Amino acid sequence: ETDADLGESKMAGCDLLKATFLNTSLEKADLSGATNFTIDPERNKIKKAVFHLYELPGLLAKYDIRIVQK
């Protein structure tokens, strides 16, 4: 368990490739400039957090789905 409080943080330019998010508060955090993260919305608090559209797969990874843009 990480149980970190990263609420309202700004993560522009952060490469989160090996970061672990578990029971983490990311409420109102700005991850729109962060890359390579995997965050389970069911196991972390992400209310009002900001994510870039291109990093959407990092929020949906556990569902094993493909996201395409046509």
Query: What DSSP line would sit under 2-66, residue for residue?
Result: ---B-TT-B-TT-B-TT---SS-B-TT-B-TT-BS----TTTSB-TT-B--GGGTHHHHGGG---
pLDDT tens sequence across 27-61 = 999 999 999 999 999 999 999 999 999 999 999 99
User: Mean pLDDT, the chain, as a whole number?
Assistant: 95
Q: Tell me the pTM.
A: 0.87
